[in-house]
Amino acid sequence: MALRFFNTYSREIEEFELRNPGARPIRMYTCGPTVYSRAHIGNFRAYVFEDLLQRHLELRGYKVDRVMNITDVEDKTIRGAREAGVPLQKFTKQFKNAFFEDAGTLRIKRADEYPAATDQRYIDRMIEMISALISKGLAYQADDKSVYFRINKFPDYGKLAHFDLTQLQSTGRVKHDEYDKEHIGDFALWKAWDEADGDVKWDSPWGPGRPGWHIECSAMSMALLGDQIDIHCGGVDNIFPHHEAEIAQSEGVTGKKFVQYWLHCAHLLVDGQKMAKSLGNFYTVPDVLTKGYTGRELRYALLRVHYRVPLNFTWEGMNEARESLARIDEWLARLRKCSASVSLAGTKDRQAGSMPYTFEDALDDDLNISAALGFLFESIRETNRAMDQNEMDAISANAWLDWWKRINTVLDLEAEIDVTVPEEVAQLAQQRENARREKNWKRSDELRDQISALGWEVRDTKDGSKLTRRTGSA
| Residues near Zn ion, by CB under 5 A | 31, 217
Residue 472, Ramachandran bin (φ over 0: left; ψ between -120 and 50: alpha; else beta): left
For 44-197, where are the E strands, in sequence order? 64-68, 139-141, 147-149, 188-192
Residue 188 or 217 with smaller CB distance to Zn ion: 217
Residue 31 or 429 with smaller CB distance to Zn ion: 31
Residue 46 or 335 with smaller CB distance to Zn ion: 46
Residue 70, Cβ density class (10 Å: 0-12 exposed, 13-18 middle, ≥19 buried): buried
Q: What distances in angstroms separate CA 417 from CA 101, 127, 329, 421, 470, one per listed residue? A: 19, 49, 11, 10, 10
Residue 251 or 360 with smaller CB distance to Zn ion: 251
Residue 31 Cβ vs Zn ion, minimum distance, rounded to whole Å: 3
Q: What distances in angstroms separate CA 70 from CA 65, 87, 212, 213, 226, one per listed residue? A: 17, 17, 14, 11, 18
Residue 242 Cβ vs Zn ion, minimum distance, rounded to whole Å: 6
Contact 23, 85 (CB under 8 A): no
Residue 249 or 444 with smaller CB distance to Zn ion: 249
Residue 250 or 383 with smaller CB distance to Zn ion: 250
289: part of which helix (H) or strand (E)?
Answer: helix 285-290
Q: CA nearest 338: which of 292, 395, 389, 381?
A: 395
Residue 151 Cβ vs Zn ion, minimum distance, rounded to whole Å: 18
| Distance from C-alpha of 297 to C-alpha of 304, rounded to nearest angstrom | 11
Residue 28 or 318 with smaller CB distance to Zn ion: 28
Contact 234, 46 (CB under 8 A): yes
Residue 88 or 259 with smaller CB distance to Zn ion: 259
Residue 126 Cβ vs Zn ion, minimum distance, rounded to whole Å: 13
Residue 247 Cβ vs Zn ion, minimum distance, rounded to whole Å: 11
Q: What are phi and psi of 262, to 5 degrees?
A: -105, 120
Residue 274 Cβ vs Zn ion, minimum distance, rounded to whole Å: 22
Sign of the CA dihedral 401, 406, 410, 415? positive
Residue 11 Cβ vs Zn ion, minimum distance, rounded to whole Å: 21
Q: What are phi and psi of 19, to 5 degrees?
A: -65, -45
Cis peptide before 422 (omega within 30 of 0): no
Residue 217 or 332 with smaller CB distance to Zn ion: 217
Q: What are phi and psi of 144, to 5 degrees?
A: -80, 5
| Distance from C-alpha of 97 to C-alpha of 38, rounded to nearest angstrom | 9
| Distance from C-alpha of 27 to C-alpha of 230, rounded to nearest angstrom | 5
| Distance from C-alpha of 73 to C-alpha of 207, rounded to nearest angstrom | 18
Residue 398 Cβ vs Zn ion, minimum distance, rounded to whole Å: 45
Q: CA nearest 284: which of 63, 425, 101?
A: 101
Residue 258 Cβ vs Zn ion, minimum distance, rounded to whole Å: 12
Q: CA nearest 131: which of 256, 229, 200, 219?
A: 219
Residue 217 or 392 with smaller CB distance to Zn ion: 217
Helix axes 369-388, 315-339, angle to 10 degrees: 40
Q: CA nearest 373: which of 330, 324, 335, 322?
A: 324
Residue 238 or 383 with smaller CB distance to Zn ion: 238
Residue 433 Cβ vs Zn ion, minimum distance, rounded to whole Å: 51
Residue 94 Cβ vs Zn ion, minimum distance, rounded to whole Å: 22
